[in-house]
Chain A
Amino acid sequence: MSQGSAPSTGPSYVSVEPNISAQYFEAERERIFKRVWLQVGRAETIPNPGDYFIKELAVLDASVLVIRGRDGVLRAFHNLCRHRGNRLVNQSAGSAKAFACGFHGWTYSSEGELVNIPLEQEFPGCNKAKLGLIRLALDVWEGFIFVHWNSAPEQSLRDYLSPVAALLDGFPFANLELSGSWGASLNSNWKTFQDAFLEAYHVLAVHRRSIPDFRKDPLVTGAQLMGKHCKLTYYQNMLHEPKPAEALAFKLSSSAFLSIDRTNELKNRRWPALNSARRDNWVFDEFVIFPNFHLFLGDGWMLCHEFWPTTVDHTDWQVKYYQQRSNSPAVKIAQEYSKVAMRDAIREDLSTIENTHAAQRLGAMPFMTLSPSLESLIVHHHSVVADYVGARPTRVEA
């Protein structure tokens, strides 16, 4: 697939079968989630040797332990003891000098080496060097930690993320800090969940209260395919008149949710991937990293969505909102406005998802009718999934 404008040929009737078929989901687990790089967190959350976090990846039936070693290197392991397979670490995050299994006390270093077997003499000839924790591949791009089921993936993370990585290299992610963190477990297929965040068309209805004058023209949506990844651009109504709290937030901080690029910092072409159309009313770009990571970048903020399937009918979703790092209380007050506005809008986004999935499960509606312009990225995402799964095209004849 080549990079270019979204296709707009013909209406798009996309089958709902891939969203409700248990068999299809099994194929997704094997052919997508075990074969691609998966984003699992930020490197700055474990800055010191021995710092770790656990990522539960139900889609792989795996618990993954990410540790920063004494050498400063990040590594990912299956969270299991090589003795008989007991779960090694239970605390979701922390810091440890060594990791001892609670079953018989086999102990591992922060680099994953087996360093102690209690009563080792009772294991004659046991070679500890061959019994380190089992690795998954791990690589980091701009502070984002990715893991791969295969310990020696065919494709490097850099190649996998092409062309997105090169577009955002050097982006000052370090200037951002965690501001909001929310999660939900919904009875929905993971793709249906993501679909709610793959178009801006819904803003007119879903956000009619929270963002009533978001855009004058609903047809103005920037959608760009980037290989298996893609990008969606959102624009603001320049005539938007902020309410008092919002106005204060804009005054106290140069950046706030739904603010336009007031500082022109992003427009100055250091990151040409952002606001690539150079419009005055640009608000943010959403990069959709296949298969389940959506990265929203605005002026002084970022939003990271992770959509983790557990079954064909269920998804655990986490989102983290980052804002400009600051010790100024006034800026924090402004940022609180942005955080609350973002959270409330996201709760509106989540209102349709379980209904949609339940309706698709009914079987009464065999396909979705999608706009080839406004909803092109939904078509794209389902097509890429089908490519990986090796399924017939998901477009159907109405």
Chain B
Amino acid sequence: MSQTEQSGALPEAFKSLERFVSGWSLATEDERNRKRRSSSMHEIQSFYDAMLEHIAAIAEHLNDFSLPELPQRERRLLNLAFSFMEIAPAVEVYFSPDVPAAIDAERLVILSP
């Protein structure tokens, strides 16, 4: 696994998630979707399980801030939460990293921020 732990990368309460930062704390929808599609179900499930435990607390913690003024560590945490939402359908709905019976992912251009 190339996921290296970045100590201090996340707020103290979410230290246990730091091992996911390098792989999953991604800034754009396109990056997060590519990461989802290039990951194994095992990797996705590990990330999902770890995040599910904390996601409500993450939302609560981040809501002490306003989006434009998020400090770096909180920004990383938010991007992890976005990645959780990106992979949630793979675990909860599709049971597969990508959407089965859909148009090829590369044919849908993701222009979102």
Contact = CB atoms under 8 A, between A and B. Distances in A.
B13 interface: no
Contact of B85 (A179, A182, A249, A251): A249
B11 to A, nearest CB: 12
A30 to B, nearest CB: 30
B92 A245 contact: yes
Nearest to B69: A327
A344 B63 contact: no
Given A184-B108, A209-B101, A337-B88, A329 B82 contact: no
A16 B102 CA distance: 24
Contacts of A341: 89
Nearest to A245: B88
A347 B103 contact: yes
B5 interface: no
B86 A336 contact: yes
A202 interface: no
A351 B88 contact: no
A340 B88 contact: yes
Nearest to B81: A333
Contact of B103 (A243, A328, A340, A351): A351
Interface residues of A, number: 40
Contacts of B66: 327-328
A351 B101 contact: yes
A209 B109 contact: no
Contacts of A351: 101-103
A326 B82 CA distance: 16
B108 A336 contact: no
B103 A184 contact: yes
Contacts of B42: none
A348 B102 contact: yes
A333 B93 contact: no
A340 B109 contact: no
Interface residues of B, number: 39
A329 B108 contact: no
A181 B63 CA distance: 25
Contacts of B105: 347
A248 B55 contact: yes
Contacts of A118: none
A45 to B, nearest CB: 13
B102 A245 contact: no
B50 interface: no
A10 interface: no
A179 B108 CA distance: 16
A248 B59 contact: yes
Given A182-B111, A327-B66, 20 more contacts: A183-B108, A185-B107, A209-B101, A243-B88, A244-B88, A245-B55, A245-B85, A246-B88, A329-B78, A330-B60, A330-B62, A333-B58, A333-B82, A336-B82, A339-B85, A339-B112, A344-B99, A344-B102, A347-B103, A351-B101
* Closest CB pairs A-B (n = 6): A245-B88, A329-B62, A347-B102, A243-B92, A350-B103, A330-B59
Interface of A: 178-186, 206, 209-210, 243-246, 248-249, 251-252, 326-330, 332-333, 336-337, 339-341, 343-344, 346-348, 350-351, 353
12 contacts: A178-B113, A244-B52, A329-B59, A329-B63, A330-B60, A333-B85, A336-B81, A339-B29, A340-B85, A343-B108, A350-B102, A351-B101
Interface of B: 29, 52, 55-56, 58-60, 62-63, 65-68, 70, 74, 78, 81-82, 84-86, 88-89, 92-94, 99-103, 105, 107-113
